[in-house]
Amino acid sequence: MKRDLYRLFNQLPVMASLPPRKFSSSSCSSSKHETTPIQILLQMGFSRHRALKALAATGNRSVQLASDWLLTHVNDTHLDMNEPREYIFYASPTGPLLTQLLEFWEKSKKVSGWNGAHNYPPHITLVSFFKAQDESSLQLAKAVKNAVENVGEPPNCPLKVEPYISQNFMGLFLSDEHADYLKRIAVQYVKQVSSASINLEPHVKSLHITLAYHFDVKVYDALKALVDEMQPFQQAEWELRLYSRDPRFVYKVTQGYEPKANDELELVLGDYIYIKEEEINSTTDGWLHGTSWLTGVSGYLPAVYTLRTAESDAWTLHRAMSLTSSNSGDCKSESDSNNDGEMSFPHEDASMLGNEKSQETFKEWDNYWNTVQLHRTDGILNVTQGSSIDWRTTAVSDAKESEKDKKKRWVFAMRHGERVDLTYGHWVQYCFDENGTYTRKDLNLPLTLGERYKPLVDLDINTTETLEEFYNRNEKVMYSAVNETEASGDNVIFVGHASTLDMASFAIKRIDQPATEGKSYQISKQLLRVPYCALAAMRPNPWRLVGPPCPPSINSSSGRFDWTILEEDLHH
């Protein structure tokens, strides 16, 4: 055996040794690591103007991101225009303070509606918006680190803020000692980047985080109570951040849409749309003219598929630096390197846009069915409700539920299902022959279609019914259904158009109120935000809106329905 192994070993080829290489100075100088991103993009065939615009728009993060941005913006009519970006320099809270502030943002939206503070992330402004050409973006980011190094170490104790409340403004103001440190950074940054082409000034007035302003005096007490609920701020952590933006305001896509005409804009989940304010106020048919953040393409879009969001959601982060004394040089940017590396920043991967929402919805359904199957729950209505549902503890919470709670019934209001032509697009025209016979051409389409029903009321009948009469008629029907099923404890569901949710939430809540206390009905502006299959849920004692007990059910791309918008109308 040993002899055979020895013979086999001797038959193996002997590998040649690698000879030493003599490096020349010319070969070292041509290393690809010394090639800058702008040079690589120029070698790829992009013009200098477009390459600089792409690098600035992606925060100089990598050649790959810049080239992807250029490819997606190939039809952008603004691509070759000389439009400087706007930059802003912030001190931003992180950690527990940021968590508290974001919670305050959400609660204050429900109390007072949208106010100016909701347009931006929690921050202290060090340098207000200033314009700079795209070729300056890399130096602007590097100047953040240089300014911090020139000022020196931050104070040993964390930066402290204290609340300030008045009838038209609420905020957290920085103590004088710590404000002086940030002001010196702002002044130093301005010195670093000021030039004939860049005009900027440091923000050296009272440094603060704005909590709310431009709000109705009627909600003052409610907002003040939210500020009072916030915990002490001594343990706040901070970062310096440099952002840039396209100076237009932003709406986010909540539902996908495939254009049906040449002048319409395709909507993709994860994209943001730039829409002018006058468009929102002047539309007569619910269609708006907007520009895609993802592609730069402009066109008309249905307003119902968008939602106003923080302007900063579409900003580009160029530099983030921690303000702790131990790691003040710990940066989250590629601004000091020419390496083609990538960081984990929002909006950096165009191919993943829209994927996160789909994954989130799938996980919810998967967790729900596992809960039902493994814990043998009685059904969907016995699983705890709410969009922030803790699926893992539903079995325990159900077991502890009192008999009284179990007897509480549900009243649902649901918008009708999706329009097949909007959901499946061009497939529909191939599904019907000249006789109107339906054939299933796609596995996602229904197996069969029922015949069209004859309407109970012909459309050509002239009616003089007013809006108030329409709501009152529906209210009586809803009262009747709820009251007649009270003894048996049956659940009730109303299915109709988008107004059904608003109507039911308003009407059912008035069951417990004397007739004289009821307010008159008004068309809600929130109706444009009710997608297909949107579900509202109500429970008694007293009747109130609660989170639906199940994840959304829809085939087309759609943002999750926020049932709390119905509560906003009830408060108003």
**Which residues form the catalytic set?**
415-416, 497
Residue keyed to tokens 């941005």: 69
CA distances from 569 to 75, 263, 563 (A): 40, 34, 11
Nearest to 411 by CA among 476, 512, 486: 486
User: Quick check: 69 and 177 in contact, CB under 8 A?
Assistant: no
What does the CA dihedral 501, 503, 508, 514 come to, rounded to 10 degrees?
A: 160
∠ CA(319), CA(321), CA(322), 5° rounding? Answer: 160
The letter for the amino acid at 221 is D
Those residues with Cβ within 8 angstroms of residue 120's Cβ, 6 or more apart along the chain or in another chain: 310, 311, 312
Q: Which tokens is 450 given? A: 């029922």
Across the strands, what pairs with 78? none
C-alpha span between 532 and 498 (Å, rounded): 8
Phi, psi of 331 (to 5 degrees): -105, 155
Those residues with Cβ within 8 angstroms of residue 461's Cβ, 6 or more apart along the chain or in another chain: none
C-alpha span between 251 and 104 (Å, rounded): 21
- What is the side-by-side order of every strand in the sheet holding 411-415? 492-496, 411-415, 535-539, 544-546
Nearest to 499 by CA among 465, 536, 445: 536
H helices present in 20-175, as ranges: 25-29, 37-43, 48-57, 63-72, 95-112, 137-151
Measured in whole angstroms, the distance separating CA 397 from the mean position of its chain's CA atoms is 31
What three-state secondary structure class fits 498? Answer: coil
